[in-house]
Amino acid sequence: MVVIRDIRSEFYGEVVGNSDESDEDSEEQQNRRLQPDDIEKRIEKRKWNRKRQELLMDYESFSYHSVASSVVMFDLAWKLSQENNCLLWYAIVGQTSQLITHAINREHYIDQLDYLQSHMSRLSHIGQIHSGTSTSDENKARIEILFEDELALWLYRHWSLKEAIETSMVTASKFKLFTEGGQRRMYEFLVQLGLPRRECAQLYSSMNSSLRDSLNAQFLQYGEKYGVLVVSRSRCCSSALLGINTRLFWVFEMCSVIYSTTYSYVLFVAQVTYKRLSRTDLFLPSFIVHLGYRTPMSAVDAVFLTISALECYNSGNPVENFQTALDTVACWNSPSLDQEIKQTEIHLQSLANQVRNLLDTDDVVAFGPFLYVYIRKSSLVTHALRNSQSLAILSKYILMAKSSMRAKLGHGRRVVQMPLIVCVDSKSDDNYISLLGIPPIHGDDDRNLFGQAFEAAINRTKARAEFKYFSTNCIELHREDMLKLFEALSSLLT
């Protein structure tokens, strides 16, 4: 048989040498001599298939979390000249929900703010000129949407400042509030802010107005002092390094070292630096809707209220829950807004308490290149945490808290560079567990590739698993296949 080699055939060995991929051709075509045109066609088809697989991987891993559908619908309404502040608020809440549930990162979120802010300014200007064009509900509530930096504290406008700091993901992790030392550092921080304990324990809306007005500036000024300690030791024989500043100080200890029969003192230096609470940690650019005499509602608050309405009423009808969530988003129309806020506060406290319990029992452990935690049904603070949106927030909370409590594991592994898999008992079948994987906190890529990793591990191990959820990084797995799936994931992620 004469084999024709063409320099254009970059993938010659893959095209001709792999008999497994020639199923599409008939037996007659397989046996006949391959002509250069046939080889060229196969090369083009192989390139097309590879390009297709790359595009599908990008699509399934991250890119489908692009612009929120609510923003797309608002854009359509704008082109039809049917837009108003109500639809704009829906678009804002939808885009913010992607960030809160970690479907997109901060950079993707910021990219959409300019578009939404331009529409906010335009509608605000139109509303000032033509006040009669607003709907009756908007006029009644005096709706006004503003853009400003939002403190990264959950529901702090409707809560006490102390409870918001203790519950919010960023402050609870950075202050290590799951320890006694963390509580002490939090109170020291509040003292630095000039906030009496009585003011911090009461509702934010009841605080002294001057304290509320200066809160953002105070957080930004003193936030850098209260961060995560990073300690490194090095040998030093000179006292010229003595020095103190706000983010670096030196600690010296005298250690006796034996050299033959004599003692000599060697000076060791412990360099302690603060990874400060930066502005990006403390603040989030967001939108606020002012409701006249009522407490303003931020887009972040509206997202948590919506998640709580959708997932916290286990005995309710899903249709009724959806309608409640819709009424909650349109907060100027909700007659039970205060009740929904209270329900959301309980839900967020359950999240923080669940993380605290897992850290106290040291249930977050390493399995090769990734971390995992198994939350049994009996140890759940509330069964609402098994729902997909709450589980996504809980997973990120666990990973951030674990990285702040213990920066490194064995073999030099850093927690911030390790992904996490959270396992909970399934809601529908006791023989199955729900798995949700999230990427590392400080990874090279913000895309979540657990969907492809789960699929490859399932195909390799023939595990009994189902992709029941919209997000492919969440699956249902038979509990007997958990170990072999983890072993396959460990080899894939190594």
Whether residues 212 and 114 fall in one domain: yes
Whether residues 287 and 306 fall in one domain: yes
What CATH number is given to the structural domain containing 460? Answer: 3.10.310
* Count of C-beta atoms within a 10 Å radius of residue 430: 10
Query: pTM for the complete prediction?
Result: 0.74
Whether residues 189 and 303 fall in one domain: yes
pLDDT the model gives residue 322: 85
Structure tokens at 210: 């001057």
* Tokens 């704008």 found at: 78
In a domain, 345, yes or no: no
**String of DSSP letters for 390-440:** HHHHHHHHHHHHHHHH-SB-GGG-BGGGS-EEEEEE-SS-TTEEEEEEE--
Whether residues 175 and 286 fall in one domain: yes
Whether residues 300 and 201 fall in one domain: yes
Nearest to 167 by CA among 422, 346, 312, 361: 346
In whole angstroms, how large is the CA radius of gyration of the chain? 28
Within 8 A by CB and 6+ apart from 4, the residues are 33, 34, 35, 36, 39
Whether residues 265 and 295 fall in one domain: no
In a domain, 294, yes or no: yes
In a domain, 56, yes or no: yes
In a domain, 5, yes or no: no
Whether residues 166 and 43 fall in one domain: no
> What pLDDT digit, counting tens, does each position of 246-273 carry?
232 222 222 322 223 332 323 323 333 3
Within 8 A by CB and 6+ apart from 182, the residues are 175, 176
In a domain, 80, yes or no: yes
The sign of the dihedral angle between the CA atoms of 78, 80, 82, 86 is: negative
405: amino acid identity, one letter: M
List, for the chain, all residue ranges whose pLDDT scores fall below the cut of 50. 1-24, 27, 31, 63, 138, 140-141, 228-274
Could you tell me the residue range of the domain that residue 334 belongs to?
69-223+279-340
Whether residues 192 and 316 fall in one domain: yes
Whether residues 288 and 155 fall in one domain: yes
Give one word for 436, left, alpha or beta, with left for phi > 0 and alpha for psi -120 to 50. beta
In a domain, 1, yes or no: no
Structure tokens at 45: 């088809």
In a domain, 356, yes or no: no
Instruction: Compute the half-sphere exposure of residue 22: CA atoms within 13 Å on the CB side of its CA.
Output: 16
Number of domains in the chain: 4
Within 8 A by CB and 6+ apart from 247, the residues are 224, 273, 274, 276
pLDDT the model gives residue 192: 84
Whether residues 166 and 298 fall in one domain: yes
Distance of CA 458 to the CA centre of its chain: 25
Distance between CA atoms of residues 287 and 85, nearest Å: 12
Distance between CA atoms of residues 203 and 192, nearest Å: 20
Distance between CA atoms of residues 440 and 414, nearest Å: 10
In a domain, 138, yes or no: yes
Nearest to 16 by CA among 29, 3, 1: 3
Whether residues 445 and 298 fall in one domain: no
* Tokens 């996504």 found at: 392
Whether residues 139 and 44 fall in one domain: no
Instruction: Mark which of 307, 340, 373 sits at the end of a domain.
Output: 340
